[in-house]
Amino acid sequence: MSDLLSFLKKSPTRFHAVAALSDALDKAGYTRLSECDDWQLAVGGKYYVTRNGSALLAFRIPRADFSGFMLSASHGDSPTFRIKENAEISGPDGYLRLNVERYGGMLCAPWMDRPLTVGGRVLVQNGDSIETRLVYVDRDLLMIPNVAIHMNRKANDGYTYDAKTDMVPVMGIGSEAGSFRSVIAQAAGCRAEDILGHDLFLCLREPGVIWGMQDEFVSAPRLDDLQCAYGCFEGFLAAQESESVPVYALLDNEEVGSLTKQGADGTFVSDLVDRICAAFGRSRVSALANSFLVSADNAHAVHPNHPEYTDATHRPMPNGGVVIKYGVRYATDGASQAVFTAVCRKAGVPVQHFSNRSDLAGGSTLGNIANAHTSVNTVDIGLAQLAMHSPFETAGAKDTDHLIRAMTCFYSSALTENNGTFTLK
């Protein structure tokens, strides 16, 4: 569990998550590829490629006559506040504030009265080049202050938060407060005037913790979806080779619809499949017919104070094992459910089931979106958590290991299908 918390600490934004995974792949002997180059792939090779600095694909080539692909996809972005280009708001009365907008569907209230900072990337002019530099201001820099109950007597009566008024962070006070751009430039190691663009977000400063009577819970920022991202990654690294190509995908922008080149509705995964098939003379159609995708994005646990929000017969619990998700917005069907259940049984991992209460609409995941470009048998899974889309979420301390074991078994397997009969070996 300490390894998960370490990964979360290294990953305050999706850009940092990709950098952390890249470092781990470098240490594990993987070769970094560039989408701009022609690839010379070899049997036994271990590779990875990034797009936009916020999405990553890693894969291995076990044999030239591989049967298909065993893929997982999770996402590195989380609901937060994005910092606008002209960020500084002067006033009222000497305050210096920061102009932000909501990114994704977050719970607003938990963002208030917590130490915050800024992270992401900046694009810097360096001679004839424009360089990308990661930024994380490692100090308590900002806070979104609540209004005292004496001034807002409705605060505990279903108050509706106005993003342009209530959720504006304060950075300083007085004429000596300085400028936001200079703070970012210092963190990036450049002059303020050399910053040509940025993707910056508010970040929670609190580290993750293990808690409970028997240390049964983990609470941390960005468990949705970095807990699944980490579990799938560790399973990918630990797996033995099979007849299929294992592919690990960390994609971006799931929280805002995936409509980017680095999101699930882009062609990143599809492009990789094309390049691997072309390199070894494999038919894309037949390879995908013998492929499987695990769309891994955390699931809702039964809430201890509001169990009525959970479907009567689908009630996942923290530490209860991997959750298979069902519904009209998920890609799971009977076949994919059966295959992944067989994988979990082989791995000795317990399985739970989730479906939204019939009168409550749930969120979407990567599965159906990715299938529009790379159509394969797909299951939507997750780990049971509380307070999804809060800046500080809670899940079961044992479930990360459950996912690692399941994905190690998954990535060590190959799938073939013959007219509705599936064979795992």
pLDDT tens-digit profile, the chain (425 residues): 679 999 999 999 999 999 999 999 999 999 999 999 999 999 999 999 999 999 999 999 999 999 999 999 999 999 999 999 999 999 899 999 999 999 999 999 999 999 999 999 999 999 999 999 999 999 999 999 999 999 998 889 888 999 999 999 999 998 777 799 999 999 999 999 999 999 999 999 999 999 999 999 999 999 999 999 999 999 999 999 999 999 999 999 999 989 899 999 999 999 999 999 999 999 999 999 999 999 999 999 999 999 999 999 999 999 999 999 998 889 999 999 999 999 999 999 999 999 999 888 777 788 888 888 889 999 999 999 999 999 999 999 999 999 999 999 999 999 988 888 998 88
SS3 labels along the chain = CHHHHHHHHHCCCHHHHHHHHHHHHHHCCCEEECCCCCCCCCCCCEEEEEECCCEEEEEECCCCCCCCEEEEEEECCCCEEEEEEEEEEECCCCEEEEEEEEECCCCCHHHCCCCEEEEEEEEEEECCEEEEEEEECCCCCEECCCCCCCCCCCCCCCCCCCCCCCCCCEEEECCCCCCHHHHHHHHHCCCHHHEEEEEEEEEECCCCEEECCCCCEEEECCHHHHHHHHHHHHHHHHCCCCCCEEEEEEEECHHHCCCCCCECCCCHHHHHHHHHHHHHCCCHHHHHHCCEEEEECCEECCCCCCHHHCCCCCCCCCCCCEEEEECCCCCCCHHHHHHHHHHHHHHCCCEEEEECCCCCCCCCCHHHHHHCCCCCEEEEEECEEECCCCCCEEEECCHHHHHHHHHHHHHCCCEEEECCEEEEC
Predicted local confidence at residue 1, as pLDDT: 61
Could you give phi then psi for residue 140, rounded to 5 degrees? Answer: -75, 105
CA dist 274 and 245 (Å) reads 13
Residue 176 has what pLDDT?
74
CB neighbour list of residue 195: distance below 8 Å, 6 or more residues apart: 122, 123, 124, 125, 181, 184, 185, 188
Supply the Cα-derived Rg of the chain in whole angstroms: 22
Residues facing residue 292 across a β-bridge: 70, 377
Quote the CA–CA distance of 360 and 374 in Å, as a whole number.
Answer: 29
| Percent of the chain's residues with pLDDT above 90 | 86
What does the angle CA 72 – CA 77 – CA 81 come to, to the nearest 5 degrees? 170
> Are the CB atoms for 290 and 326 separated by under 8 Å?
no
pLDDT tens digits along 273-312: 999 999 999 999 999 999 999 999 999 999 999 999 999 9
Q: CB atoms < 10 A from the CB of 361, how many?
A: 11
User: Biggest alpha carbon distance in the chain?
Assistant: 73
Q: What is the pTM of this model?
A: 0.96
Amino acid at 315: R
